[in-house]
Structure 1
Amino acid sequence: MKVLRTPDEAFSAIADFPFAPHFAEVRDPASGTSLRIHYIDEGPRDAPAVLMMHGEPTWCYLYRHMIGPVVAAGYRVLAPDLVGFGKSDKPAEKSDYSYAAHVRWMRQWLEGLGLRDITLACQDWGSLIGLRLVAAMPERFRAVALSNGGLPEGGPAPRAFAIWRAFSKYSPLFPIGKIIAKGTKRPLSPEEIAAYDAPFPDARYKAGARIFPSFVPFEGNPAVPDQKEAWKVLDQWDKPFLCAFSDGDPITRTGETRFIGRVPGTAGQAHRTLTGGHFIQEDDPQGFVAAILDVAAKGGQS
Structure 2
Amino acid sequence: MRILRTDEARFAGLPDYPFSAHYLDVEPGLRMHYVDEGPNDSAPVLMLHGEPSWSYLYRHMIPLVADAGHRVLAPDLVGFGKSDKPSHVGDYTYERHIHWLSQWLKALDLKNITLVCQNWGSLLGLRLAAEHPQLFRRIIVGNGMLPTGDTPVPAVFSLWKAFATHSPWFPVGRIVQLGTERTMSKAEIAAYEAPFPSAEYKAGARAFPKLVPVSADDPSSAANKAAWRVLEKWKKPFITCFSSGDPITRGGDRYMQRRIPGAHGQPHITLRGGHFLQEDSPDDFARIIIDALKSELAA
Q: Same fold (TM over 0.5)?
A: yes
Contact 2:16 2:60 in 1 (8 A): no
Map of 1:15 onto structure 2? 15
Residue aligning to 1:2: 2
1:212/1:299 CA distance change after superposition, 3 Å: farther
**Structure 2 equivalent of residue 241 of structure 1:** 238
Q: Of residues 113, 116, 126 in structure 1, which corresponds to 2:111?
A: 116
The correspondence for 1:160, drawn from 156, 159, 164, is: 156
* Residue number in structure 2 paired with 1:49: 44
1:257 deviates by: 1.8
Within 5 Å, which residues of 2 pair with 1:13-162?
13-27=13-27, 33-154=28-149, 155-162=151-158
Q: Aligned partners of 2:297 and 2:77: how far apart in 1?
A: 27
Q: Deviation of residue 295 (structure 1)?
A: 2.7
Instruction: Please provide the CA RMSD for this pair.
Output: 1.2
Once the two structures are TM-superposed, the CA of residue 195 in structure 1 deviates from its matched residue by 0.1
- Is the CA contact 1:239–1:299 (under 8 Å) kept in the aligned structure 2? no
Equivalent pair of 1:165/1:213 in contact (CA under 8 Å):
yes
Counterpart in the other structure of 1:283:
280
- Alpha-carbon shift at residue 34 of structure 1 (Å): 2.8
Match for 2:114: what amino acid? Answer: T
Is 1:293 the counterpart of 2:290? The answer is yes
1:293 shift after superposition: 1.9
Paired amino acid for 1:199: P
Matches within 5 A, 1:169-184: 169-184=165-180
Shift in Å, 1:14: 1.1
Deviations 1:193-218 (A, max 9, x none): 00000000000100000010011112
Instruction: Say whether 1:260 aligns with 2:257.
Output: yes
> Aligned-pair distance for 1:258?
2.0
Q: Report the CA distance between 1:53 and its aligned residue.
A: 0.4
Deviations 1:215-255 (A, max 9, x none): 11121421100100101110111000000100001111111
The DSSP-based 3-state class of the residue aligned with 1:26 is: strand
Question: Within 2, Cα distance between the matches of 1:137 and 1:239?
Answer: 13
User: How far off is 1:300 after superposition?
Assistant: 5.6
Structure 2 residue matching 1:259: 3-state secondary structure: helix
Q: Compared with structure 1, are the counterparts of its residues 99 and 298 closer, same or farther at alpha carbon in structure 2 (3 Å cutoff)?
A: farther
Q: Return the alpha-carbon distance in structure 2 between the equivalents of residues 21 and 195 of structure 1.
A: 16
The one-letter amino acid of 1:124's match is N
Name the CA distance, whole Å, in 2 between partners of 1:207 and 1:224: 23
TM-score by length of 2: 0.97
3-state SS of 2:226 partner: helix
State percent identity of aligned pairs: 54
Q: How far 1:299 moved relative to its partner?
A: 5.2
Q: Number of matched residues? A: 297
Counterpart residue identity of residue 214, structure 2: F
- Please list every run of 5 or more consecutive structure 2 residues that lacks an aligned counterpart in the other structure: none
How far off its partner does 1:15 sit? 3.1
Deviations 1:83-113 (A, max 9, x none): 0000000001111110000000000001100
